[in-house]
Chains A and B, each alone.
Chain A
Amino acid sequence: MSQGLLQLTDIVAGYGDVMALHGVSLAVRDGSVTALLGSNGAGKSTLLKTAAGILTPRRGEIAFDGAAIAGKRASERVERGIVLIPEGRLIFPEMSVEENLRVGAFAPHARPHVARGLERAYALFPRLAERRRQSGGTLSGGEQQMLALGRGLMAEPRLLLLDEPTLGLAPLIAQSIFTVIERLRADGLTILLAEQDARRTLAIADYGYVLESGTGVMEGSGAELLADPKINSAYLGL
């Protein structure tokens, strides 16, 4: 697993004095969809935020494309191609849909490609094109998730960190988000996907990790994890 595009080694991280991760290691292979499973509070969000540079780890190493990036700020990581689509979407509520998308291309390497990025985002999510003048705060939950995804893609990522992209969405819209994720994978994007819906996530994942109370407890290919009885009882409700 040493040839991971993203490699986290022995990460300890958290908020203030409370640690949410106690030495987690994980690798995301180039071109793969890697699933990150675990119940609420297992540390999935903390791990993604640490990878994105929103949180600074107390200990541990982070390598992206072979370079150590643990000390790099979030903006520098986006510039290298690591883009987080955060839980809760974090849309700019009083900017229009189009402004939300355009500011997603802040990273210097993405700035020249704004027109291309907008075209791609609107092709992927025609709903956003219909609402391009509307302010972000007036969108429905599903539309906001589309906007968050579209905004992230504007940064021309190499690795997408997706944090609970279908949380709180109606089943049909959740399904369409999964369709988009598969489409992005087909386009060659590498994806680390934290999701509650373990079955659907493992169905599209090449590899998966299971976190429990801030430690990695299991890993394996998507098919292996799907077949594992412990996973079945804990996350699939079988």
Chain B
Amino acid sequence: MSAMPRQLAWRLFKHEAKRGELSIILFAIILSVASVLSLSLFSERLQGALTDRSAEFIAADRQLSARTPIDPEWVMSAQTFNLATAQQTSTRSMAFANDELALVDLRAVSGDYPLKGTIKLAPELFATGVETTQIPALGEAWIDSRLFQLLGVSLGDSIELGEAQFTITKILSEIPDGGFSVFNADPMVLINLADIDATRVTGPGSRVNYKVYFTGSESDLDDYFDVLSPQLDRQVHRWLSVQDDTSPIGESVARAEQFFLLASLLAIILAAVAIGVAAQRYAQRHFDPVAIMKTLGASTSTIRKVYLYQIGFIALLGIVIGAIVGFVLQQLVVSALAGTVEVSLQIWYWRPLLIAIFTGSVCALLFCLYPLLGLFSIPPLRVLRRDIASSFTSRGGQYLTAGGAILLLMWVYSQNLKISLILFVSGLILVGLLLASTLGLIVLGRILGSGRMGAWQLAWARIKRRSLDNSVQLISFALTIMLLLVVLVMRNDIVQQWRDQLPQGTANYFLTNVTEEQRPSLIQHFSDNGIETDGLFPVSRGRFVKINDEILRHDITKEKEDTTNETRRGMGREANLTWDTQLQMGNEVIAGKWHGDWSLENSDLPPGVYPVSIEERVGERMRIGMGDKLTFNIGSEIVTVEVTSIRTVNWQTMQPNFFFVLHPMAMEAFRASYITSFYLPPERKPELTRLMAPFASVTMFDVDARINQVRSIIEQVSAAIEFILILVLVAGSLVLVAQVQASMDERQRELAILRTLGAKGSMIRASVIYEFLIIGSVAGLMAALANEVSLYLLQTQIFQMQSSLHIEYWLIAPLTGAVVVGLLGATSCWRLLSMNTQVLLSKML
């Protein structure tokens, strides 16, 4: 007896699979597993590659930096965790040569440096860097192009760093973790770590930064950190991983990861909708067999077992096939993308498979559960009275279970309640809208469906009669279209905003230290050479003295400084101040009022206090808020300003941006130097030396290489996103096909009857096409509306992007919905009508 349900389930499963009866539900599970697996596997591999790429910016997978020498024991123990290590000691120091002197950023590196990325050397001054695998030999120094100019030295000359002499042997172009700061960057000098002691620049009182780099497997790195963590002093040590990268690239990668997550979540919802549709259909087709079995004496528990076993078999088969299809699909995409998108060479990750299996099982169980509960409750009396359906037909309950399951899946998968809730709530709004519009359709149907029976009337009459079924179908069509729209528009907006950040002609050179006197001649000189500068901003370095009444102590000893700054992190002892009445591009005031029209007459500040606008994040880090008074020491003067506005700044633009913007009146007494940026096309690069010749004291930064790096990563991520979009589109289209297929089944009986009664094929076909056109366009319109809501929430709450209306989709979505759904309906209808009436009737058995 106990083996009976399993045997019977297996038999039913075998026959139904053979006869294609399970194809819809099986297909939906395959689809869910395949899309989740291919998407997560692909994004895992892509993220692997991007993380590797990003790792180049910290020259390793992890970095430990400290203000005091790092315990050599820690480095030794890292090796026992199979981690590769390298070291760097850096400080700012004076360099002497040819009786000239300059402040330099001195970096002393060990032999294995860098663990990720490469050092680049320029064949001539300011030329494009070429990769090298070496580091300076003992007694050698590699120096920045700018330093050659500043000190007037050439290759082979001597340079004095601290107490040691070095020979200049190479032009240093860039190092992976060179960082990028226009203000604080002094020209860089690279020497061998073994030489640092001889320079004696790391003695007491000097500000030295010690770094140890680590690479290895993620688990080894995590294990090592677990052991190391308790020994770290958070005021001295800083543990950095790729994810902590806040550079434009870091943020682009983070945004891309969020997009992958979103796309995978949507794929899960699409698959779940497909399974829900298929399960409903599956349950309905089994009403009779269940009634028969009950009549023949089967207990409810037997029935339950038979069907749960069946679902188990279907889920298992779906998961196995789905996993294979997903893997192959992903591999095809990777091969198709070879050369365009770099993905990790590691072809297999377990996490995506586990997620896919989990998704497949949860979808199969939770989305089948409700239809199955209905199926189990079919009374045996149905064998005599065919009109009796399930007594368990609360649609509200069904939506609640399905909705809860979707939310649970999204939450478990994304570990992000916010993104899950946003998608879920907009889904709910859509469902509400759809129910309301279905009611509208029924009213409309009553009006339009009256009159002599033609194809149009038939279509409306069917919509009216099948209002409940149609509302379910409308909801599933609209959800699918909405999800596709969300992915499509998000992709467009993300890629567009990335490209907008760095349009062609983005400034690739920065000039600092331009004096007031040089300003007009520099503008003239550049304009004579056909180069436009992006405006000159005044800059002055101010030393922080007080925040309100709290005196900031930077001097005396290092230890004291550390304790004073404990609660106000993130800012050095000096800040770069600018002043303007115009709000800079990419800046937005989020609190207070911009000081553009402030004047002494209308001031409500205490005498001698001027307004300042601060950047949001520096305010958070330094715990400065509206109304706080900041005191700076500029030259030998004291300036006090009060925070009258807080701004957000788009740091992803390659333009000069400032933490502190003062009112010009505050700075009237001070001499300023200016900063500007300009774009020079690559082919004009050789002109640089000539261009800068009249302005020897002006410091130039070449950010071309960095911009190109960002651009290539953005292009790569955009291409990957494109393919993910295609994957989701395919998944969505397949779901639409499944839905139309399922709904055609429901129409089959009616078509057969109409056909038997002699209705013309052309009329039946036209009526079905009209019906699907109407459903498709309404679903498309509803989807466009719901799309706006979810996009607004996603873009403002999750992606931190500018949100805008997408009016064009209000037209595109209904049109596409009507055409696609209409075409799919027409195709299925064609198939049905090509059968002779006898076959059609026998299919209804």
Physical interaction between A and B: no
Interface residues, chain A, with chain B CB atoms under 8 Å away: none
